[in-house]
Structure 1
């Protein structure tokens, strides 16, 4: 398995800081370039929550943390890095500028992963005149230091060897890399989330339910099912002994019923923003964002820990992966001790 000795993170916002935390807590040195004068504070706050979560997840100890170094240029950040994670805002012109600088100064064999949530790698590769073949989309989910999935997407100039190497590198830090078979905008995860987000906005706008009621409907029902088995395996069970064929025959006609507004988008105006924001404040306003992050992290650790006890102790789904990850972390402690 390919392993990371040194990494570079370009951008230290919510996603970039999450990458820093996962890498550093795996004992990897990380160089950060972010022109935001508040980057140090923001990364440190994310690191504090990540350490709290990892101590719960791996009570037997963690490997020695990697060093965090803030640098003044992209060139300095990417020097000698095995993995370079780009996490700048979703503007193609900015992506081009940053990726061109990375490409000019990074080692030829370094993998460049973009955290973009929707831009196709082919649209980003024109700025990389030297080695476009090593660019992949490496789209994570927040919090990056806990949620293991990373969608790997290659562009027209990405080589299969670089996709395989990227999968190996991300797996080495406890992630579940899934290579997307065809290059499309927003990949798979965000396309599913966007469909639900649009329907949710209609349900709130039309007064069918509140923000809090919608969240309760998700977290007390299918959210729990999806967390451990996904969509299709859950629906296979719903088909009874006849399995998926029976489920499709029974519920397939619903696709033509007027149940959804998914193909129509509510007008995104100040009225809708105020409605959603006000209800969200009523739901969670008593907690700061950092407090909500800590609550979220504690819940995720507990859920994955519970899944890790299933299947005769071997674990199930994310729990099985977490068991392997915790063993790896504990093994690093013994090796370093």
Structure 2
């Protein structure tokens, strides 16, 4: 049966950093949100997170009906799921926990409700085995932190996920301004984290080999390729790197040197000694700045980039996508 029911009511399961950030985004998009978590002081922490995130969301542009008052909280899972059209699950990254949880979600939700997991590493095929009734409505909807600001969400189904569920998830995320990327295959860590992992491996290798300090390797990234990556991805930048000849000329010119350099990339082992070296380097880079201060610096620059991208007609940005 084709499901065309619109998505208005969201259930947030797990209100840690990721769940709280999703909550703020959904509220900013004018949706009704019911959140649940059994952790002590979870409700107070969630309300505070949303309040703190609201100025940034307001700056990016709130949707009609957006209000912090659209948030409800309950420690009762069944009550949180009552009437939900879409569930964003943010539980611990433990397969046994998620399988048990998905059995509960599957029994409590209406059959047409989508269940999306924020899991950063687990495969949906493994998770959805806990949902005996309707595994076809279970998808991965993996965000990048913080979800209320970073547009990316990776969508991938499991072996039992229906094409219809993937399409509905993609359409929903796109409708609220997310940059939804569909993965055609399941991979541990999905895609964006694997890309980060490949880069992190070389970063740790360079610091371990005393090529440069932690602060300098961060500068090399954030003041070099990182600036370009905030505009275009690897493949488009390769195309520009080929000048008038484009991607074809790029490979003609650089394929040989590039593949040769791959052979020299490092494979560091994160021994306690190397971890201490990396930690000491980061602490030296941080200095007296606190985590909240660093987060504020990150978010302010990020907001500026998002606002700049929103002005470009050929760029997908939260404000433009929400108005489509």
TM-score, length-normalised on structure 1?
0.88
**Residue from 237, 240, 264 that aligns with 1:237:** 240
1:247 maps to what in 2? 250
Matched-pair contact (CA < 8 Å) for 1:10–1:32: yes
Q: Is 1:208–2:204 an aligned residue pair?
A: no
Superposition RMSD in Å: 2.1
* Structure 1 position 169, deviation (Å): 1.5
* Structure 1 position 4, deviation (Å): 2.6
1:181 maps to what in 2? 184
Gaps of 5+ in 1: 329-337
1:309 maps to what in 2? 311
TM-score, length-normalised on structure 2?
0.91
* Structure 1 position 326, deviation (Å): 6.7
Matched-pair contact (CA < 8 Å) for 1:114–1:138: yes
SS of the residue corresponding to residue 228 of structure 1 reads coil
Gaps of 5+ in 2: none
SS of the residue corresponding to residue 68 of structure 2 reads coil
Deviating more after overlay: 37-46 vs 207-216: 37-46
**Residue from 112, 115, 125 that aligns with 1:112:** 115
| Superimposed CA distance per residue, residues 75-130 of structure 1 (whole angstroms, 9 cap, x where no aligned partner) | 22211111101111211111112111111111110000000112111111110001
Matched-pair contact (CA < 8 Å) for 1:26–1:66: no
Between the aligned partners of 2:155 and 2:106, the Cα distance in structure 1 is: 19
Q: Is 1:78–2:76 an aligned residue pair?
A: no
Matches within 5 A, 1:225-304: 225-253=228-256, 254-257=258-261, 258-261=263-266, 264=267, 266-304=268-306
* Structure 1 position 308, deviation (Å): 2.6
Q: Which has the higher contact order (CA 8 A, sep 6+)?
A: 1
Aligned residues: 319
- Runs (4+) off by over 3 Å: 59-62, 325-328
* Structure 1 position 180, deviation (Å): 0.7
* Structure 1 position 251, deviation (Å): 1.7
2:149 maps to what in 1? 146
Between the aligned partners of 1:61 and 1:134, the Cα distance in structure 2 is: 28
